[in-house]
Structure 1
Amino acid sequence: MTVTVRVRAERIPGERRVAATPESLKKLLSAGVAVQVERDAGMGASIADAAFEAVGATLVEPGSAMAADVLFHVRPLTVEETSALPAGTITVGTMDPFRGIDAVRAAQDGGVTTFALDLLPRISRAQSMDVLTSQSLIAGYRLVTLAADAFGRMFGMTMTAAGTLAPARVLVLGAGVAGLQAIATAKRLGGVVSANDIRAASADEVRSVGGTFIDLDLGTADAGGGYAAELAEDRVARQQELLATHVAASDILITTAAVPGRAAPRLVTAAMVRRMKPGSVLVDLAAETGGNIEGSVAGEHQRIAVDGGEVTLIGACDITSDLAPDASKLLAMNYANFLLPMLHEGNLVLDFDDELVGGSAVTHAGAVRNDRVREALEVPA
């Protein structure tokens, strides 16, 4: 029996990405998969419906009855959207299950199998499927271009007969994939870039992309999988105290710190912001999950009074959608590369003993399979 995949047109305003491209669909179609694409699904990523049809996909109306085995989606599905899926449907996409527990319950109750690519184990075999990495690369680049647009000055040093323009001093807090890409981008623009992170590997990683690592002598805190662990309150206070002088000296501050399943760690207080130089720019990638910078609001550009003028605080929102064609190209291959190993002689085989399949599965056959999500739901194994 032919496996059918449906590609969803995203409903959330501002979300322009799509979970498939004609190139990624060629891989699925060559493996014998039938593909349905909802009309206008690729519009925000500059992909016309005709381009999907040209490779062999069938167009279907958004919101029409689900007549496919697998649903590809970019943003987490709502409770209502999950409840409308037929039992046995398999969904592949991001879920953010710890903030979307009700949707997890809906999938459990409805017998829907859900794979959260944002929970995919970060092992070498998963690199081609890792949506967090591919989208963080896009986000890190976009953070710097947002800052550059708002800065009002050049990044690099320029020496002329009329005088010398000093380079921008850029501080990046959080040196995961997004942070490292931000460091590399700011460095290419000519900025003098320094960075801090509490993970053990971060010092070498920062230096590898041209940044100067700031050692706060706080020790390290690793949660595994390339993530930082949450700090105790006394260490948070000490971290803020030690960062204050570095924040005040920077022209551009970019924050990217995150702790999986938790609110974003608060790295910069309002008092620290008020000590910054007039004209400085702050961009907070974590604004949608609580903010690394006190007062940041997702989607808002704020002017904050400081001694002698103002600084600009930008709360990032949907920034990967700002570069939807490139973000979708990477995302689409992540999805295709995740599904293809499950196809065996035209059938979809879910081997939950496989680390990638079992590690990313949230619900299946009325049960919650992920240990951490089970704990959040307070349901037994």
Structure 2
Amino acid sequence: MIAGIIKEPTGEHRVALMPEQAEALVKKNVIVYVEPAAGVSAFASDDIYLSKGAQIKPRSEILASADIILSVNPLPANDISLLQQNTVLIGAYQPLINHSLIKQVCSQQCTLFSMDMLPRTTRAQSMDILSSQANIAGYKAVLLAASLYPRYFPMFMTAAGSIPPAKVLILGAGVAGLQAIATARRLGAVVEVFDTRPAVKEEVMSLGAKFIDVEGAADASAAGGYAVEQDEAYKQRQQQKISEAAVKADIIITTAQIPGRAAPVLIPEAVLMRMKPGSVIIDLAAATGGNTAKTVNDQTVHFNNVTIVGNSNLPAGMPADASKLYGKNILNFLQLIIGKEGALSLNFDDDLVKGTCIVHNGAVVNERVKSAMA
């Protein structure tokens, strides 16, 4: 069996599998093809891949001959058209919104496993790309904010006077939010946190942050760790609380997303108009519309002396470690679908294999994706 590692598009510095992880596949009797310079941005040269037993092959040959193709981002449509039938694609394909791409995969009679749809269970933690990459995003978001903020983060008491600590507001206490809390606290900031899930309050407080309570949140216990849509009465109470905290904040890190939906706008224009001059917002939900009224994906916007950074791909800014963690997630998942002799073995009785599979035998097999496409 042949596994192919594809070079990612311009601007993406990660690679789906690092050399040591490619070596693990080689030891399982899997032939590993790597596109030239696929890992260079993650500081993994072609020579290192070769030393681990992988083979360097042109992209066209990988697409035409590989049984499994590994990537971080979805393959572009022109690449999918070159695939042979029954090729297995593994990556983060965002199938709840990329409907045209999913239809094309069906028409090619390929099988697609989208790792961002992996069921979020205890057993799946070692394969959870959303968590491993969100951890990096939360860390980088705070460092980016600190570099853009025109004042100190920690409190300083000097002979020339005292400097108060920065006030950081974090919207969303998932993996990215929790790491942002920890990083901001290490830098000496005062941190407040909002999340629609009251269950995260204890964890937030254990990191030294204040949790903003809003009564009447919808039960999110069955949402697999994600946020859920709230009713209008709750949204009004939520907006008031967030607005009060936002106008006092120096830094805001926003992470709120709902799978398959546009990101909720938590910082409207009226609130942006009241924020402190020099304030910084890092919007990690920019790819799905953003959590502010002025967020533009992959751009930095200056509005009313507030800097708004729309960046949903901060993990690409730490490509070596991000690729290492992503590759380990992928390698752990591959253990479920590759047999002892290195042959493909798709066991759909396994809840993780079944839950992550989006397309098989030319048809969409994931119920959530079916509903979204309908």
Runs of 4+ in 1 over 6 A off after TM superposition: none
2:236 maps to 237
2:92 maps to 94
SS at match of 1:205: helix
SS at match of 1:344: coil
1:45 maps to 42
- Does the CA contact (< 8 Å) of 1:200 and 1:220 recur in 2? no
- Does the CA contact (< 8 Å) of 1:200 and 1:221 recur in 2? no
Deviation at 1:77, TM superposition (A): 2.0
1:257 maps to 256
- Within-5 A mapping of 1:1-381: 3-11=1-9, 13-64=10-61, 65-222=63-220, 224-305=223-304, 310-346=305-341, 347-378=343-374
SS at match of 2:308: strand
The amino acid that maps onto 1:61 is P
SS at match of 1:358: helix
The amino acid that maps onto 1:17 is R
SS at match of 2:247: helix
SS at match of 1:314: strand
Deviation at 1:43, TM superposition (A): 1.3
Distance of 2:170 and 2:177 partners within structure 1: 6
Deviation at 1:221, TM superposition (A): 4.0
Deviation at 1:53, TM superposition (A): 0.5
Aligned-pair Cα RMSD in Å: 1.3
Distance of 2:282 and 2:216 partners within structure 1: 24
- TM-score of the aligned structures, taking structure 1 as reference length: 0.94
SS at match of 2:259: coil
Distance of 2:206 and 2:45 partners within structure 1: 40
Deviation at 1:27, TM superposition (A): 1.8
Deviation digits for residues 311-339 of structure 1, max 9, x if unmatched?
A: 21111142111111111110011111100
Deviation digits for residues 66-104 of structure 1, max 9, x if unmatched?
A: 211100011012333222211010011111012211111
Deviation digits for residues 6-61 of structure 1, max 9, x if unmatched?
A: 001012x2111100101211221222211111101001111111111010000011
Distance of 1:357 and 1:258 partners within structure 2: 25
Identity over aligned residues, as a percent? Answer: 43
Gaps of 5+ in 1: none
Deviation at 1:220, TM superposition (A): 4.1
1:221 to 1:250, Cα distance in 2 relative to 1, 3 A: farther
Deviation at 1:125, TM superposition (A): 1.1
- TM-score of the aligned structures, taking structure 2 as reference length: 0.96
Deviation at 1:205, TM superposition (A): 2.1
SS at match of 2:330: helix
Deviation at 1:377, TM superposition (A): 2.7
SS at match of 1:66: helix
Gaps of 5+ in 2: none
Distance of 1:169 and 1:202 partners within structure 2: 20
